[in-house]
Structure 1
């Protein structure tokens, strides 16, 4: 472990008045939280994880948000529980920790356990573990009468086929633990089921679920001092060739006020039943044609990728400032989020294996055609001679963000740009 001291930012509170916020690992989409914490006048410590940074191809020293961090500790792998615990205890001895922020899936539970050990308010460790163990989460919700979606953890093809025979195809097959749509499949028949399970790394850790249909949305809610903060309901899009693959999000969702309230009440029931006591949570929901919400996945952390930025672009404000305040266990008066526009993201990757293009094509045409509605368009090809087919969020190489006063226009422009990129690239992309 190494560390480095950064000079305090001019906006920092006077010595002795700042609280100590410790961020465990970082990624580009959540780095603005450093600035939010510093703007609030706090002392900011970051525990970096080199393996995570290399996997995400991010460079902390090149990040414009690095200057908002007062103290940096560097670990090779922050998911190593003993290395992380040792580092946190050292940090806590030097300057007592007032609050932790962990936005990476793999680190929420380890940080929760350490926080409980040293007496710092954070998301409940047992509840966070239950949320990440998807079959355990289903078990808890069924016992509480919150959600009765049928599921089974299978030991192989025969168990999975028996479940599918009882519930009917299609069924959803996914790892019992995991995130980012990695390893998830909507399976149409027994032949596909056999193929999916043959490719699974660990059939004993495979969850088979009843297929849910309707509108795919997510609720973003905070919880502090027993009070819920209803932040947003967003709508999600998926790829028709691989329904488990998310291709984008629009904030806020185009649903009625009654549907919004129904989704939020359901998300609160889910969080309450599982026992998450503090944090901002990302609750993925299928809103059925009959208006019944059903859980897809409960994430005991803030929404990921660029979605906090979409929240801001749509007029919802700085959700990172709220995140810091929640994890410092402040008393926050709940109130409705008022949006003044619609922000849409579309991600795309190769639909099928193709040779990696020699260079990124010209992107200027999109700004010329769509003007201020286009917030950003990025394309970055991974290393290698071949682009593998994108079947999970980590397989995307492109992203477009669009903001518009009209929901339909926001979505249409984003999808048109993805289509234009496919034309320029000369191969089909996920969309």
Structure 2
């Protein structure tokens, strides 16, 4: 079988390696600059991922059996374009576009069984219609352009901050106070499987920068069961059929569920590439490939471990001793950090962070371990 992988950034590395392990012939299509996956595939085409028709032509010429990408909003729509044109397993491009439009997904989510509706509107100018609120660009991910607002002065600053990001509109939505989680799922031919629920540590207001992720979630069983019931309803409501999704939710003190956003891809921050398999033993990246090739089998979760990732930035500089001591620990999976020259940014977006630590253990790892 032959698989096309769109993109060659670090986020696609695990797809390339996994396909090789499975004995699948691979081609990669991406801009050559920064293409770290170039040597991990059988054939590499140095073409921008924005060249939709040229990529389709190549995939048709190569007679591929599936097309896939992961952890990238930029490549998910291209994957759908190629797969749909070639009659391969995918979620339709129009549905991918819907999931990237936070206003449309918000409208759909208002009537999904299991989700609690919230107030929202597209900004047209003037003062906010309600406070507190969250201001965010309608497209986008990685917390780019997102701000919490509690006063009118903060609202003006938040609009300017959102306007610094590429967008077609700005969404204003009610702020929900509560815990934030993400839900990692896989879908095949319209049937949806929740694989894991991830707890998130963030900076909170104003920009909600993600500082750590931990699996499994510590939410009580009733709430986790509610999430596992609700997420398939949501995915069916938006028309999602095939592939991985990373859905962000808020849970308030009354255990009501609120949608933050739908991402039609595996989670970034090593969630889909490493954490899910570390905590469950389920080959999540391999499952993405199987979906694309149309050979997917119903998931079996063989293990129940703890895994997580901690990030370094100015807000977590006090964790440097924890990072340093982790080098000798049996639970350490990966550590990325420049110990000779650490320049901490005052991070406001996920891409501003300076390094990370990944663990796997029989318990949640904290600074006391």
Deviation at 1:388, TM superposition (A): 4.3
Q: 1:367 aligns with which of 326, 331, 342?
A: 326
Q: 2:162 aligns with which of 197, 200, 222?
A: 200
RMSD: 2.7
Deviation at 1:267, TM superposition (A): 1.1
Name 2:96's counterpart in structure 1.
Answer: 128
Range with greater deviation from structure 2 (182-191 or 36-45):
36-45
Superposed CA offset, 1:122-165 (max 9, x none): 1121111010010011112225565522111102233xx1x22x
Q: 1:404 aligns with which of 345, 361, 366?
A: 361
Unaligned runs of 5+ in 1: 1-18, 355-360, 418-431
Is residue 323–residue 357 contact of structure 2 (8 Å, CA) maintained in 1?
Answer: no
Deviation at 1:217, TM superposition (A): 1.0
Q: Residues 303, 364 of structure 1: CA spacing in aligned structure 2 closer, same or farther, 3 A cutoff?
A: closer
Alignment of 1:145-294 (within 5 A): 146-158=115-127, 161=128, 163-164=129-130, 169-201=131-163, 205-240=169-204, 242-294=206-258
Deviation at 1:315, TM superposition (A): 4.0
Q: Secondary structure at the match of 2:245?
A: strand
Q: Secondary structure at the match of 1:301?
A: coil
Superposed CA offset, 1:297-337 (max 9, x none): 100011123113122222423211111111112241244x3
Q: 1:98 aligns with which of 65, 84, 89?
A: 65
Is residue 156–residue 197 contact of structure 1 (8 Å, CA) maintained in 2?
Answer: no
Q: Secondary structure at the match of 1:200?
A: helix
Name 2:106's counterpart in structure 1.
Answer: 138
Deviation at 1:173, TM superposition (A): 0.7
Is residue 183–residue 246 contact of structure 2 (8 Å, CA) maintained in 1?
Answer: yes
Q: Secondary structure at the match of 1:314?
A: helix
Is residue 133–residue 148 contact of structure 2 (8 Å, CA) maintained in 1?
Answer: yes
Q: 1:316 aligns with which of 281, 300, 303?
A: 281
Q: Residues 386, 31 of structure 1: CA spacing in aligned structure 2 closer, same or farther, 3 A cutoff?
A: closer
Q: C-alpha distance in 1, partners of 2:94/2:241?
A: 11
Q: Residues 268, 31 of structure 1: CA spacing in aligned structure 2 closer, same or farther, 3 A cutoff?
A: same
Q: 2:270 aligns with which of 286, 306, 324?
A: 306
Is residue 366–residue 374 contact of structure 1 (8 Å, CA) maintained in 2?
Answer: no
Deviation at 1:195, TM superposition (A): 1.6
Q: TM-score, normalised by structure 2?
A: 0.89
Alignment of 1:47-86 (within 5 A): 47-50=29-32, 53=34, 59-60=36-37, 66-67=39-40, 69-75=41-47, 77-78=48-49, 80=50, 83-86=51-54
Deviation at 1:189, TM superposition (A): 1.3
Superposed CA offset, 1:92-149 (max 9, x none): 22x2121111222012123212322222221121111010010011112225565522
Is residue 37–residue 324 contact of structure 1 (8 Å, CA) maintained in 2?
Answer: yes
Q: Secondary structure at the match of 2:229?
A: helix
Q: Give the number of aligned pairs.
A: 361
Unaligned runs of 5+ in 2: none
Q: Residues 116, 36 of structure 1: CA spacing in aligned structure 2 closer, same or farther, 3 A cutoff?
A: same
Q: 2:28 aligns with which of 16, 33, 46?
A: 46
Deviation at 1:280, TM superposition (A): 1.1
Superposed CA offset, 1:42-101 (max 9, x none): 2111112246x3xxxx6345xxxx34x1111112x31x2xx23213312322x2121111
Deviation at 1:200, TM superposition (A): 3.4
Q: TM-score, normalised by structure 1?
A: 0.77
Is residue 225–residue 331 contact of structure 1 (8 Å, CA) maintained in 2?
Answer: no
Q: C-alpha distance in 2, partners of 1:224/1:199?
A: 38
Question: Which one has the largest radius of gyration?
Answer: 1
Q: Residues 116, 366 of structure 1: CA spacing in aligned structure 2 closer, same or farther, 3 A cutoff?
A: same
Is residue 228–residue 334 contact of structure 1 (8 Å, CA) maintained in 2?
Answer: no
